[in-house]
Amino acid sequence: MKRTTNDLRTVALGAAALALAVATALHAQVAVRGDVVHTMSGAPITDGVVVITDGRISAVGPAATTPIPAGVRVLRAAVVTPGLIDAHGTVGVAGALNSDHDQDQLEHADPMQPELRAIDAYNTREMLVEWVRSFGVTTIHTGHAPGELISGQTMIVKTTGNTVDEAMLVPLAAVAVTLSPEAQRGEGKSPGTRGKMAAMLRGELIKARDYLARLDRPDADDDDAGDEPDDERHRGRPDRDLRLETLGRVLNGEVPLLVTADRAQDIASALRIAAEFDIRVWLDSAAESYLLVDEIKAAGVPVILHPSMARAVGVRENQSFETAATLRRAGIPVAIQAGYESYVPKTRIVLFEAAIAAANGLTFEEALATITIDAARILGIDDRVGALAVGRDGDVALYDGDPFEYTSHCIGVVIDGAVVSEMVR
């Protein structure tokens, strides 16, 4: 039968489409095989396999019983872990160059600015994002830094993506509060003391509570009804206020306060305010938290602990390498963070900070948990990341040896099933 030019074109296009579909299907799958696979959802697997399909983990188990589909790319490593999680830092908002153009982590115009959004300041192309990813960090909780009473919002992103929307996991994770002398202004400006800081924070939360109450009034939508005088009309729905809206979400329990406090007295203030307003709090840094173990546990508050090797000066002068172990033994949820450094390169690497904790009271698995599954649970994203289990995101870190040994290397990183980093030897 004679074929027309259109027929041949149709066949050619169909063949091209089929080839593309096959290539896409193969590209949608990747397998990772490790001499040891730390799943963080069970015991480590010797000679284990993780299969990722369409960005999600579709199989995990021993190589002997976990088949790898034909044609799928296989990555190999001595040790395989879930992608690491930095439970708090400023990467992507604070840049490596330490210059005005890449430092958006702190706005000093006002001591309280909960309306400042991290998503408006985050730079997916910041070199620090790629740098921390090269060590196996695939998820970061980042945003405005400690240093103002309320410095702004935080968010949770993957360390990949061309835009912040592509990287996004949680656009508003917490509101960052600092109850520490580093947020005091001095020179007669407020806040200048611990008492003033607590009073200002309370006052703003009370305003937000009143704002919510006015929004809930039955007549809140009747602002324009009738010819009431202005003072009467303003008893209805209040004008929109981004600051009070944000704190209203804190009061409603939607968003926690991330409270940076190192001294025991400041940690106690954070717990007192949390109880007073019945709000969720994540303790941040918390150098002297080992002095308030019973109080923190009773409050049900998790701790995102300062980097193990943070400088032991000022409010952190009494910090301890054993704090992570102390908190964990008491049953307090704890994660280890990279934190914020005011000097280059602006961040630490949680892989090494957890390694120090592993040498000071935590087992290997417990230390790894502080930067994987335990961090994910505190941040409320454990249904997506933090463990290698069927249905979770295909985020995997590959190492050529013990990840906590300084001489080991991260030889590959997979995020959502895509190989985003690979060491070429």
What superfamily would CATH give domain 84-193+243-383?
Answer: Metal-dependent hydrolases (3.20.20.140)
Share of the chain above pLDDT 90, in %: 84
pLDDT over 60 (residue 14): no
Given a cut of 90, is residue 21 above it in pLDDT? no
Q: Residue ranges of the domains in the chain?
A: 29-82+386-425, 84-193+243-383
For residue 112, give the DSSP letter. Answer: B
Quick one: pLDDT band at residue 7, thresholds 50, 70, 90? very low
- Alpha carbon of residue 88 to chain centroid: 6
* Beta strand residue intervals within 160-235, DSSP E: 168-178
pLDDT at site 54: 96
Q: How confident is the model at residue 106 (pLDDT cuts 50, 70, 90)?
A: very high
Percent of residues, the chain, with pLDDT higher than 70: 88
How far is residue 68 from each of residues 28, 49, 52, 193, 244, measured CA to CA in Å? 13, 8, 10, 62, 53
CATH fold of 29-82+386-425, please? Urease, subunit C; domain 1 (2.30.40)
Q: How confident is the model at residue 221 (pLDDT cuts 50, 70, 90)?
A: low
Q: What are phi and psi of 332, to 5 degrees?
A: -90, 125
> What SS3 state is found at 258?
strand
Report residue 286's pLDDT band, with 50, 70 and 90 as the boundaries: very high
For 150-181, how does the pLDDT look when each residue is reduced to its tens digit (9 = 90+)? Answer: 999 999 999 999 999 999 999 999 999 999 99
**Cα–Cα distance for residue pair 145/142, rounded to 1 Å:** 8
Across 117-140, average pLDDT: 97
Indicate the range of 27-36, 207-216, 366-375 predicted with least confidence.
27-36
Residue 192 has pLDDT above 80, yes or no: yes
Q: pLDDT at position 2, please?
A: 43
Helix (H, G, I), strand (E, B) or coil at 126: coil
pLDDT of residue 93: 97
Provide the mean pLDDT of the chain. 91
Judge contact between 34 and 76, C-beta under 8 A: yes
What residues have CB less than 8 Å from 132, skipping those under 6 apart? 86, 91, 140, 159, 338, 347, 349
Q: Is the pLDDT of residue 28 over 90?
A: no
**Which run of H or of E encompasses 73?**
strand 73-82
Comparing 174-183, 204-213, 229-238, 325-334, which segment has the lowest mean pLDDT? 229-238
Q: Give the whole-angstrom CA distance, residue 410 versus residue 234.
A: 60
For the chain, the first-to-last Cα distance in angstroms comes to 55
Residue 19 has pLDDT above 70, yes or no: no
Both structure tokens of 314 = 């000022």
